[in-house]
Amino acid sequence: MRWHGQRIDETDAQALPGMENRTGFLRTVTTPEFAGMTFHEVLAKSALNHVPGPSKMPFDWTINPYRGCSHACFYCFARGTHTYLDLDAGHDFDSQIVVKVNVAETLETELRRGSWRHETVALGTNTDPYQRAEGRYRLMPGIIRALADSGTPFSVLTKGTLIRRDIPLLVEAATHVPVDVQLSIAMFDESLREAIEPGAPSTQARLDTVRALSDAGFRVGVFLMPILPHLTDSVGAIDGALRRIAEAGADHVIYGALHLRAGVKPWFLQWLSEHRPDLLSSYRELYPGTAAEAPKDYRKWLARRVRPLIRLHSLEALHSDDRPARGSRTTTGAGAGVRQAPVPTLF
C-alpha cells in the first residue's frame, strides 16, 4: 500500500489485509445505503500524481480521489492496481473502495507551492471520480474549487451522472480556467450495458448528462470506448451510437477498441465465457497471451469503419482552432478548447 501520512486510529479489525497498522489509514466503513460496499478511508500524503516518463497523454498530472470503482466494468484496465492492496482485481475492485478523505486539503497545499506550474490536471483517468462513493464523501467540489482558485486547468472524464450535482460549480470554475468534460459511453444495448458495466448508470442517463452539460455551455466529449470486437463493432451499432450521442448534444467523440491488460484479461474472459462463450476463441485469437491491444489490422479496419461515421455525424475531435466554440465553457481561459484525441486511458 502506497499511502503515507498521519495515522489516526490504532488498529482496525476490518481493515484491508495487512493494513491494520499502516500509516495513513483512518477507518473502514460499511453503511446500509451502500449495501455490499466497504469504504477504506485513508489520509493521502499527495493528491497530484505525475504521469511518469515521456507520455502521449495531453496532460502531465492526474488526481484520483478513489481507488477501486463501484461502476464495476468488467473490462476496466485499472483492476490490476487493486492487487497492490492485497485485494483481488475482481469483486474486491468493485466493492472495496479506498477513499482519500483529505484529498482536497492536500491538493490545496500542493497547488500553493511556488513550483506549481499550473499544468492541466486530469480527473477520471484511472478510476471514476463520480462513482457512487462520491455521493457520500463529496470530494469533487473541494477538488474543483482548489483547481479553479489556483488557476489550474483541468478535465473530468466520468460515467457518473453524479457530475450533474456539480454543474454549477464547474460552470463557475470555467470562468477562471479551461475545463473539459467528457462522458464515457460505449454500450448502447442496455442489456449488454447492464451485464458488462453492472454498477454504472444507464446509457440513457449518461446521454441525459451529456445534454445537461451541453446545455450548461460545455463542449462535451464522449469516449466511445471500448468498442468490443463482434459485440459493438458493426456498422449498425456504431452508427446508432453516434446518432444518439449527436442527438444528446455532444461536441465530439473519441473512440478506441478494447484494451485488455494482463490484470483485467482473466476477469474479462471469465465474463465472456459466461455471457458469450461462442466468442471466446475469437477473443483469444485477437488478444493472445500477454497482448493487451487488438491487432493492428483490426484497429485499422475499425478506423476505416468508424472515422467516416464520426465525420457523418459531425463528431470529430478537432483542435479548438479548427472548430468555432458553441458557447463553450472551455474557451474562457488561455489555451482552452477541445483537445486532440488523447490516447485511450480508461480501457
Binding site for ligand SF4 (CB under 6 A): 69, 71-73, 76, 78, 127-128, 159, 200, 346
Minimum CB–partner distance for residue 237 and ligand SF4 (Å): 19
Q: Which is nearer to ligand SF4, 19 or 69 (CB)?
A: 69
Q: Which is nearer to ligand SF4, 48 or 78 (CB)?
A: 78
Minimum CB–partner distance for residue 1 and ligand SF4 (Å): 19
DSSP string, 142-167: HHHHHHHHTT--EEEEES-GGGGGGH
How far apart, in whole angstroms, are the C-alpha atoms of residue 194 and residue 296? 29
How far apart, in whole angstroms, are the C-alpha atoms of residue 330 and residue 171? 10
184, three cell numbers: 464515457
**E strand residue ranges, the chain:** 25-29, 38-42, 49-50, 61-63, 66-67, 96-100, 121-123, 154-158, 179-184, 221-227, 252-257
Minimum CB–partner distance for residue 235 and ligand SF4 (Å): 25
How far apart, in whole angstroms, are the C-alpha atoms of residue 143 and residue 145? 5
Minimum CB–partner distance for residue 333 and ligand SF4 (Å): 27
Minimum CB–partner distance for residue 39 and ligand SF4 (Å): 15
Minimum CB–partner distance for residue 70 and ligand SF4 (Å): 8
How far apart, in whole angstroms, are the C-alpha atoms of residue 109 and residue 48? 11
DSSP state letter for 27: E
Nearest to 182 by CA among 323, 322, 315, 335: 315
Which residue's C-alpha cell is 484491508? 16
Q: Which is nearer to ligand SF4, 74 or 218 (CB)?
A: 74
Is residue 286 within 8 A of residue 298, CB to CB? The reply is: yes
The side-by-side arrangement of strands in the sheet containing 25-29 is 25-29, 38-42, 96-100, 66-67
Minimum CB–partner distance for residue 10 and ligand SF4 (Å): 32
How far apart, in whole angstroms, are the C-alpha atoms of residue 333 and residue 318? 18
